[in-house]
Structure 1
Amino acid sequence: MDFYMKCRCLDSAVTMFDSMSSRDSVSWNIIVHGHLNLGALEKGLCWFNEARVSGFEPNNSTLVLVIRSCRRLESYCEGKQVHGYIIRSGFWDIISVQNSLLSMYVDSDMESAQRLFDEMCERDVITWSAMIGGFVQSEETSSGLQLFRKMVLNVGIEPDGLTMVSVLKACANSRDLRMGRVVHGLVICRGLDCDLFVGNSLIDMYSKCEEDTGSAFKIFNEIPQKNNVSWNSMLSGYVLNEKYLEALSLVYSMGMEAIEVDEITLVNILQISKFIVLPMHCKSVHCVILRQAYESNELVLNSLVDAYAKCYLVEVAWKLFNGMKRRDVVSWSTMIAGFAHCGMPDEAISVFRDMKQAEENPHTVTIINLLLACSVSAELSKSRWAHGIAIRGGLAREVAVGTAIVNMYSKCGDIEASRKAFDLISKKNIVSWSAMVAAYGMNGLANEALALVDEMKVHGLKPNSVTTLSVLSACSHGGLIQEGLSFFESMVQDYGIEPELEHYSCIVDMLSRAGKLDTAMDLIDKMPENFKASASAWGAILSGCRIHHHGNRELGWKAARQILELEPLNSAGYLLASTMYGADGSWVEAAKMRLLAKRRGVKVIGGYSLVHVNNKSCKFVAGTGTGTGTQIQAREIDIVVNQLHGCMKINERNDHLN
């Protein structure tokens, strides 16, 4: 019978067992152990129950296999029955059996696992590792790390590779870099740095802790024999920390090393393609997905739809979405976000309505994407409709959804509705405060933006770099020069925020708008060495030269050269330079600038104004006679504009007479 089991001939072994006239515990152990060892778990447990009725005495390895089978089948009720049988039969003192029971309990009931752990008189490294792993799996990272500290203090217990993997995962989840470095030191002292699993865990830990991708890459390079997990861990670390160029370089290295890609690799490559906007990479990944038959993998397909849409190939994304055999809430949310990103709010809203008809319940991300689409449309009626959906779903008071509502109403110009939505957020965070500050700034209420920062400090929150940027932008558009400069100086002193390139660009814009072009140029010259003035900063200088053109022609030409060098395919620089020359009467230079844009194939996008008429937004594009509203609405608006011009002329004449 034992021979047949070892030859994987279950039927012959069972036939042999059935033909035996007398069976002892050895016979029963062979038949039970054989079934469980060969993966016939349910049948093996049935044999075990039958053997118990016959009064056989199992050996240690059979009991361990029985408990492991209950764990794999998630038959925890039967596992507890086995636990009771072990206590009654006198097998409780065997540490291998106790460890198997502990491993079963940490998967289902940490409270029972803790009681069992406390009752154990003898504990080995497997015991401690199982318990620590259970805490980490249950997202009780602090308890797991605390237990690890106790384990290290136990004389005679030395953590192994499995322990280190669990502890490093706990450090990664809690973003505890200090503890992670301590564990890394212990790994080296124990000689476990050659363990591939430990090395992969170290890469993951450093990538997630304070964006330390440099240390992660050092660990990656020191691994002698890397596997797919090593490459994917490093790639995921770069993507997580938005190091997309480094991630792209790593992908090319994978190709050179002929590393076989899997679904994790493909998802990461799609993330890179999405953020750098590489449509050809999306198509290449699509080909790999088809060749390796990943079409049924929902994560890969959703990532592909998302990447296509974010690379402005929304028609391809829509075709792929329609061809999906099964769509989950992530698929629907991704498609809504894709249309919103491409400036197609009506299509995004239509997808949401189709989703409701398909009886798919939206979650928080879906509602946020819907609110984003409504903010793109800038129509109050649609925005209020989306707000109502969020309220009916009980999501409006959530901080993420509430912040999206604040942003949506601010884009529609309804700042009062933004403030009401902001006040209704139950637990405001720095993002929601920053959104409200940005809303005031966007709608020209610079003083209110500054006041909100003071209110924010009263609630015990300090502005971050995003908040300060919103305040500076508000001051720039509101013409509060002194207040803006004062706030810029207080960033470092009061809030400990080191100015970034965007902050300097904002100050340059503020000074340029006020005609203080010399001061703006001094600021550009005094910027830190690691910063180089961006196209937006030079654009602000050029725009200032256009408005205050007297005596600033040379500076304007210098700014134009810088913009055309930094962004040669952006139409804004050409248009600003042309307008500046036109304002100065240099029509030949203005024509040359437009001709240069045409020769370089730069697509000029006309500016537009958005006017709300009867809760509908009408877009009036520069260079056209009418907008996207009806002809009647366009004529009505023209009449009102002409009346306003007439009133202005009358007022000017009266002022002259006075």
Structure 2
Amino acid sequence: MRFPIISSGSKLPVWFSNIKELPSSGKWQEVLYKYNEIKQAGVQLIDPSIFPPILKACVAISFRCGKSVHASLVKQGFESYPSVQNSIMDFYAKSGALGSAMGVFYCMTKTDAISWNIIIYGHLHLGASKEGLELFIQGREVGFEPNISTIVLVIQAYHSLGALDDGLKFHGYLIQSGFWSLTSVQNSLLSMYVDIGMEFARKLFDDVYDKDVISWTVMIGGYMQSDESLFALELFKQMVSESGIKMDGQIMVGVLKAYANLGDIRMAKLVHGFIVSRNLDYDLFVGNSLVDLYCKCSDVDSAFTAFREMPQRNIVSWNSLLSGFVRNQKYSEALVCFHLMGNEGVDSDEVTVVNLLQICKYIVHLHQCELIHSRILRKGFESNELVINSLIDAYAKCDRITHAWRQFCQIKRRDAVTWSTMISGFANCGMPDEAIAVYREMRLSEENPNHVTLINLLEACALSAELRRSKWAHGIAIRMGMASNVAVGTAILDMYSKCGSIEASRKAFDQIPQKTIVSWGAIIAAHGLNGLPHDALALLSKMKVHGLKPNLITALSVLSACSHGGLVEEGLSLFKELTENHGAELRLEHYSCLVDLLARAGKLDSAFDMIMRIPTEMKPSASAWGALLSACRNYENTELGAGALDHVLELEPSVSAGYLLASNIYAAGGSWVDASRMRWMVKERGIKMVAGYSLVHIDNKPHRFVAGDNSHPMSDELCSVIEQMHSCMKMDMRAPPPSVEHNSLYT
């Protein structure tokens, strides 16, 4: 664009006045327009005060133009003016050219407070914290006095670098200099003290006289960061009742996160009402936090209502609702939510894909998993670590370990999460040797395992049921200093119980310093698994003495122990207690376990009645009908077994167990035609037969002996041992009852 040449000197004062006034309204383009008019008119500029607003306009509009102005200043000899030098340095600093700014700074014959503030602020503002603090120290040595903006950035620099000791010393300087009384300075110090410790931050906060919304927000956020949600909420209540501070969306997001961590649905609804009353529900971030809050409180209906009432939504809104459905095992609703996203034109991102993979993992849907894999490739998400780890996990849970391994091998840089996911995948697919081999490879790669890695390794050792391996894994946990971790300690005791070493399980349990309901549940389950139902019940009573109430998982473990131990009355009593305390929360597994308890004890009619009493919203599972069918075989009740068989085959038509049970029932009753028909159906439908096996430990090594398979090298030796044991049992049965004196040894 060409500008007209204007020769009239009468316009010069107007130009100068415009250039100095236009910046106040942010009209930077017009400033440069006036400047070019002056240049085109050939007017000689003799007033250096005209250049600072021109250079500010160049910061906003054109770096190239600013360099041109700098060149003009050098040609006209104005570069030696301190005000002009400061403006040039400010232009370069705010344009991100710190090297050029330093060049100007070093060429200055005399620097003032403005010069130091510009160069220090420029470095700190652009994230060059270390260099900025070095300049700050140099400036203080020559008597430089910083302004408020520089002071705030210096505090933030000490905070970001983690130089908290220097930050504490700077706090002392601020008190001496009088800057401490400024609210912006106090808030910056609060942010730093939050990382030092909340007790120090609280002391400082209490000394702040004029607290603003930032002061309260920093403290509430600090308590949240320290996982002290209750303190955060108490502070929020104090803020509402005492301070009279006007709430904003940022502080409400922190409060909503605190309630989400606590999972208190009653308080969640109260704070929701508070948000509506303050007209903060229009805020997008507050709306997203409300959806997340309700989902974490397991109230997905309220989450959907909050989502629907949001005036605007983004991808985070959709992902929050989708994650909530997945977290609460509402998989069909999650799929509907995903399809609605597509209908609304919202494109999926990495978080969406991870949620979809979670759905595939839980419903074990391989085809959908492969479709999502295709979407990942199309979107270019394969470089995202969370996505690829979730894909490996989903393939493993869908029993496609070769697919999972292929993805794992394609990752060039693996972190602890990736290694842990692959170890877990092999363990989930019943391949403990491969899982342990991956752990060894991980250690060779010098990647440090975390507690999740260790838990997955312990699960693999539990699956192998080899005591020597389990002790090796336990030793690793001890060397890593994680054996006392509650999650790791619980996994250790579970591992030993599956190896049949209940004493080792008890020792591992005793070594957990802070036992949780999960730890107690695991040790109770361990005794039930190893045929010690009375001990399991005793532990349940002991747990109650320690002030812990059994949850549904613990109760299920005790019910299972009662079932395998034949403790019918105890199991019925426990189920009655569960019904009174957790009636609406009882799951299908609890009813199925009680059916198994009654069926094993020969109370077939009672077991059938219990199946009929299962709530209508819970369709009786194949395990419940299977338990009844198995008992019908043991107690030769063909009529009731036939009815149970129909349900088992309907619910699990591709599982061999039901057919084999039915065949055995018919054969025991002499119905050889029906028994043959069951065998023929298995073959006709191509159902894979899963043979039963016994796991026997010999020299601390497990050996699997499959029914009907004599290929194991120790089969003959084991059969000989079993025959000897059988003979001894017969002799004991014929022996006279023990004497009173002998009995007294066991009293």
1:127 aligns with 2:212: no
CA distance 1:411–1:21, shift in 2 (3 Å): same
Shift of 1:60: 6.5
Structure 2 residue aligned with 1:334, among 399, 406, 421?
Answer: 421
8 Å CA contact 2:295–2:325 kept in 1: the answer is: yes
**1:215-294 correspondence to structure 2 within 5 Å:** 215-294=302-381
**1:104-123 correspondence to structure 2 within 5 Å:** 106=194, 113-114=201-202, 117-123=205-211
Summarize deviations over 1:413-464 as a string: whole Å, max 9, x none.
2222222322332222222222222122212222222222222223232222
1:437 aligns with 2:524: yes
In structure 2, distance between residues paired with 1:410 and 1:573: 29
In structure 2, distance between residues paired with 1:641 and 1:298: 53
Summarize deviations over 1:11-66 as a string: whole Å, max 9, x none.
62766787533234984895466656897453995898598899899877677677
8 Å CA contact 1:286–1:304 kept in 2: the answer is: yes
1:150: which partner in 2?
A: 238
Further displaced range: 645-654 or 172-181: 645-654
Summarize deviations over 1:87-129 as a string: whole Å, max 9, x none.
7777666545654555565566656654554444433333332
**1:427-576 correspondence to structure 2 within 5 Å:** 427-492=514-579, 499-549=586-636, 552-576=637-661
In structure 1, distance between residues paired with 2:199 and 2:576: 54
1:391: which partner in 2?
A: 478
Secondary structure of 2:704's counterpart equals strand
**1:361-400 correspondence to structure 2 within 5 Å:** 361-400=448-487
1:196: which partner in 2?
A: 284
**1:42-191 correspondence to structure 2 within 5 Å:** 42=128, 45=132, 49=136, 95-96=183-184, 99=187, 102-103=190-191, 106=194, 113-114=201-202, 117-154=205-242, 156-191=244-279
2:438: which partner in 1?
A: 351
Shift of 1:347: 1.0
1:603 aligns with 2:688: yes
2:60: which partner in 1?
A: 6
1:586 aligns with 2:671: yes
Shift of 1:219: 0.9
Secondary structure of 2:128's counterpart equals helix
Shift of 1:297: 2.6
2:295: which partner in 1?
A: 207
2:662: which partner in 1?
A: 577
Shift of 1:150: 2.2
2:113: which partner in 1?
A: none
The code of the aligned residue for 2:395 comes to Y
In structure 2, distance between residues paired with 1:102 and 1:388: 44
8 Å CA contact 1:437–1:467 kept in 2: the answer is: yes
Shift of 1:339: 0.9
The code of the aligned residue for 2:633 comes to R
TM-score, normalization by structure 2: 0.78
> Rg bigger for which structure?
2
In structure 1, distance between residues paired with 2:181 and 2:465: 71
Secondary structure of 1:612's counterpart equals strand
1:20: which partner in 2?
A: 79
Shift of 1:345: 0.8
Further displaced range: 421-430 or 339-348: 421-430
1:639 aligns with 2:720: yes
In structure 1, distance between residues paired with 2:165 and 2:526: 56
8 Å CA contact 2:133–2:157 kept in 1: the answer is: no
Summarize deviations over 1:219-243 as a string: whole Å, max 9, x none.
1122232111111111222222233
8 Å CA contact 2:133–2:154 kept in 1: the answer is: no
1:614: which partner in 2?
A: 699
In structure 2, distance between residues paired with 1:445 and 1:614: 24
Asked which structure has the greater RCO (Cα within 8 Å, sep 6+), the reply is 1
Structure 2 residue aligned with 1:426, among 513, 516, 526?
Answer: 513
In structure 2, distance between residues paired with 1:460 and 1:78: 47
Further displaced range: 641-650 or 429-438: 641-650
The code of the aligned residue for 2:503 comes to E
The code of the aligned residue for 2:284 comes to L
CA distance 1:107–1:402, shift in 2 (3 Å): closer
Secondary structure of 2:500's counterpart equals coil
The code of the aligned residue for 1:548 comes to Y
In structure 1, distance between residues paired with 2:514 and 2:153: 49
Shift of 1:250: 1.9
Shift of 1:499: 4.4
2:12: which partner in 1?
A: none
Summarize deviations over 1:505-528 as a string: whole Å, max 9, x none.
222112212222112222223333
8 Å CA contact 2:164–2:196 kept in 1: the answer is: yes
Further displaced range: 69-78 or 180-189: 69-78
In structure 2, distance between residues paired with 1:316 and 1:445: 41
Q: Please provide the CA RMSD for this pair.
A: 3.5
Summarize deviations over 1:226-285 as a string: whole Å, max 9, x none.
111111111222222233332233223223333222222222222222222122333333
8 Å CA contact 1:33–1:65 kept in 2: the answer is: no
Shift of 1:6: 1.4
Secondary structure of 1:295's counterpart equals helix
Shift of 1:543: 1.0
Further displaced range: 490-499 or 333-342: 490-499
CA distance 1:494–1:206, shift in 2 (3 Å): closer
Secondary structure of 1:619's counterpart equals strand
Shift of 1:134: 3.2
Structure 2 residue aligned with 1:315, among 402, 424, 430?
Answer: 402
The code of the aligned residue for 1:584 comes to G
Secondary structure of 2:82's counterpart equals coil
2:117: which partner in 1?
A: none
In structure 1, distance between residues paired with 2:80 and 2:168: 33
8 Å CA contact 2:63–2:95 kept in 1: the answer is: no
Further displaced range: 569-578 or 493-502: 493-502
Further displaced range: 493-502 or 609-618: 493-502
In structure 1, distance between residues paired with 2:649 and 2:72: 87
CA distance 1:69–1:381, shift in 2 (3 Å): closer
In structure 2, distance between residues paired with 1:448 and 1:55: 77
Identity %: 54
In structure 2, distance between residues paired with 1:90 and 1:224: 46
CA distance 1:634–1:115, shift in 2 (3 Å): same
CA distance 1:28–1:126, shift in 2 (3 Å): farther
The code of the aligned residue for 2:326 comes to V
